Amino acid sequence: MSGFKKFLLRGNLIELAVAFVIGTAFAKVVTATVSDLITPIIAAFVKQPDFAQLYFTVNSSKFAYGDFLNNVVTFIIIALVVYFVIVVPFARMTSRLSKTNDPSTPMRDCPECLSSIPAAASRCLYCTAGVTPVE
């Protein structure tokens, strides 16, 4: 039982639970925005007062394409927010932190492990072997 308690109290699980709750709340806000603001604007252009109620029937089967379009717009908005709020800043941060991604830094191979290291390095990043800097 103590192993299960340790599992539940791990930081990653708590962070994941918080992210899930915030994500669920965010999805509800986006869904409300789409159904209450964006859909009526689109519906005004197609002369339909309730965009979510658009449907067609085939052999007594109802196809609610208006609701489907609401969900597609909701998905696109959430994907855009995730991309611009999480993916783009993370990519910028990792590119700033990674010195090896800088194309202006001259590189060379480590004589011990043959990994690519900066030419001015005095120690290999990967195998920690001491190397003579090339200037």
Q: What is the pLDDT of residues 8-36, one digit of tens each?
A: 676 677 788 888 999 899 889 988 888 78
CA distances from 52 to 34, 42, 46, 81 (A): 10, 11, 12, 23
Same structural domain, 81 and 43: yes
- Summarize the confidence of residues 66-85 as an average pLDDT: 84
Same structural domain, 12 and 60: yes
Determine the pLDDT at residue 11: 67
Same structural domain, 8 and 55: yes
Same structural domain, 73 and 110: no
Same structural domain, 61 and 123: no
Same structural domain, 71 and 48: yes
The secondary element (H helix, E strand) that includes residue 24 is helix 11-33
pTM for this one? Answer: 0.52
Same structural domain, 48 and 106: no
pLDDT reading at 127 higher than 80: yes
Task: Share the mean pLDDT of the chain.
Answer: 82
CA 54, CA 35: separation in Å to the nearest integer?
13
Structural domain harbouring 77: 2-97
Same structural domain, 93 and 125: no
- Summarize the confidence of residues 78-90 as an average pLDDT: 86
How many domains in the chain? 2
CA 132, CA 124: separation in Å to the nearest integer?
10
CA 65, CA 43: separation in Å to the nearest integer?
13
Same structural domain, 71 and 127: no
Report the 10 Å Cβ neighbour count for 117.
22
Determine the pLDDT at residue 101: 53
